[in-house]
Structure 1
C-alpha cells in the first residue's frame, strides 16, 4: 500500500519540503508521496484528526503550529517535549502518532558544516522565542554551546526558554540586543521575518554588528533574506537557512523511512529553485 506524507503550515505555498522529500522518495525508490497542506491555526485540531483518519504515515510541521500541535498528538519524544515544539510527526506501528523535533539538530549540523566546530565556546544571540528558537537553543546546549542569550519582543517568552535551558542564559529585549550586538560572536535569526518581503521589517538593528560575527537566518526561501543581506554588507560571515532546512528534513525522512538520505541529492535542485536572492 502506498504511503503518503505531508507538511502542514500557514503559509505553506513557500515550502520546498514537497520538492525535497519527493526527490529523496524517487531516488530511493520508495512507494510513497508527499504533499503540502495549508492549515489555519483555528483548524489545526481538525486537520490533525483528519490526517490521522486518512492514515497519513507522517508529516512535517512548520510555522505557526510547532508548539500548538502538541496536545493533539498521541505521544511526544522526550527531546521534543523538553523543547516544547514538534516539527516531525511519525505514525508508529501501533497506529499512534508521535511528535519529534529535528529543527535544532538540523540547524547545528548546518551551522557547523558552514563554519566548523571551533565556535562552541563563543557567545550566541538567538532572535525570537518561538518553537524554532526553542529547538535550536536546546540543540546548541546539547552540542556544547553554553553562552546563549535570547532576545524577543515579548521578553517573558525568551525568559521561559532560558529557564528551561538550565544554563546561564539571559533574556533580552530586542532593543537591548541591538545596543549590545557587538558582544555576540554568533547571531541566529529564528523568526518568520523575511518570508513575506512586502511585510518585512528588521527584527533588530545591525549597526553594532561585529565584522567577525557569524550571522545565520533560518528562513530559506528567499535564501538571501534582507537580514542576511544587511549582515553581509557589514562584513559578517553569513549562514543561510538552506542547510538547516535540508538537514532537518533528512532527519525527518530517516524517522519515516528508516534510511538517511543524501543531502547533496537535493542541494543543487533547491538552489536552482530558490535562487541566491
Structure 2
C-alpha cells in the first residue's frame, strides 16, 4: 500500500493494518490526503511501531467507527472534511479551542487508554507560518473568504493574535455564523468585500476554490486582484502549492503563504499530542516538496 492510498473503513477493518497499532485520518473524500506521507515518515524517524492510514468514512460508517475508537490498536486519528464538526460530540474531553470553535481535527487517547480527547490543531497550524510576518503585522483588519469550519479556526487564531477586525466574505451572509468573540466581525458578500480591502492587511482563503475540480477558480476575481497589492495573502489549500488566488496575489505584488506549511504544522502538533515526540519538520517538508515535483 502506497503512502497516499486510502481504504474504505470496512476494508481497513478487514486488513492487516487493523491488527497492529495504528493512527488514522478519516474523512470523505480522503484520497487527496498527504497526512499518511507525513506521519509514516515521522513514525519511522522515531522508530515507533505503528502505521498511519487514510480511511474513507461515509455517513453510514460513523457509528461503527466510534466503536472502533475503543480498539486497543487504535492510537488516535485526524478528522477532516466533512466530519470536523460532527465528531465534536464523541470524545470524553474537549480542548478549549474545540469548545470555542465547535470543530476538531485531532482525536487522541488519554494516558489511561480508556478515555478520548478532541483537539483542534488547525489553529496552531495556521498561526505558525503567519508569525514569520510578526514584526510587520499591525493586527488591524483581516478579510476571510469562507465561513465554514476552517474559517472558524482562522477566526479564533486571529483573535488570539489580537487582530482588531475581521471581515467575513460569504455567499450567504445572512445565514453565516461567525465565531462568538470580542473581535469586531462583519459578514459581507462577494460584491461587497472590495470596499473593505484598502485598510485590510491580511486576506485568507478558507474556501475550496482553487483545488480539485475548482483548481482554476479563486475567491478574488482577476479584475479585483490589484486590491491585494502589498498585502499578505494566505491560502489554506496545499494542493496545488500555488493556487489561482496566490498566483493573482503574487502578480499584484502581495506577500503569499500557501497551505503546505499549515498542513505540516497542524500535523506536527497532532503528532506531538499522540506520541510526545517532535515532528521532523524539515524532513517532512522535503518529502512533500519532492512529492509535488515528481
* Compared CA separation, residues 275 and 119, structure 1 to 2 (3 A): farther
Is 1:193 matched with 2:209? Answer: yes
* 1:72 to partner: Cα distance: 2.6
Residue 126 of structure 1 aligns to a residue in which SS? strand
* Compared CA separation, residues 272 and 197, structure 1 to 2 (3 A): farther
The structure 2 residue matched to 1:106, chosen from 115, 125, 129, is: 125
Aligned residues: 273
Q: Name structure 1 gaps, 5 residues minimum.
A: none
Is 1:35 matched with 2:35? Answer: no
* 1:71 to partner: Cα distance: 1.6
* Compared CA separation, residues 236 and 11, structure 1 to 2 (3 A): same
* 1:69 to partner: Cα distance: 1.4
The structure 1 residue matched to 2:268, chosen from 235, 250, 262, is: 250
Contact 1:86–1:100 (CA<8 Å) still a contact in 2? Answer: yes
Which has the larger displacement, 115-124 or 10-19?
115-124
Residue 82 of structure 2 aligns to a residue in which SS? coil
Residue 37 of structure 2 aligns to a residue in which SS? helix
Alpha-carbon distance in structure 1 between the residues aligned to 2:116 and 2:123: 21
The structure 1 residue matched to 2:182, chosen from 166, 188, 198, is: 166
Q: Name structure 2 gaps, 5 residues minimum.
A: 1-18
Is 1:260 matched with 2:278? Answer: yes
* 1:85 to partner: Cα distance: 0.7
RMSD: 2.2
* 1:205 to partner: Cα distance: 2.5
String of CA shifts for 1:201-235, please: whole Å, max 9, x gaps: 32242515231011110011111112211222222
Is 1:90 matched with 2:108? Answer: yes
Quote the residue 1:218 is aligned against. Answer: 236
* 1:2 to partner: Cα distance: 5.1
* 1:47 to partner: Cα distance: 2.9
Quote the residue 2:173 is aligned against. Answer: 155
Is 1:50 matched with 2:68? Answer: yes
Quote the residue 2:137 is aligned against. Answer: 119
* 1:180 to partner: Cα distance: 3.6
The structure 2 residue matched to 1:238, chosen from 249, 256, 261, is: 256
Alpha-carbon distance in structure 2 between the residues aligned to 1:48 and 1:231: 42
Alpha-carbon distance in structure 1 between the residues aligned to 2:216 and 2:99: 31
* 1:237 to partner: Cα distance: 1.2
Computing the radius of gyration from Cα coordinates, the structure with the larger value is 2
Quote the residue 2:13 is aligned against. Answer: none
Quote the residue 2:81 is aligned against. Answer: 63
Quote the residue 2:153 is aligned against. Answer: 135
Contact 1:175–1:204 (CA<8 Å) still a contact in 2? Answer: no
The TM-score with structure 1 as length reference comes to 0.90
Alpha-carbon distance in structure 2 between the residues aligned to 1:189 and 1:177: 13
* 1:124 to partner: Cα distance: 0.7
The TM-score with structure 2 as length reference comes to 0.85
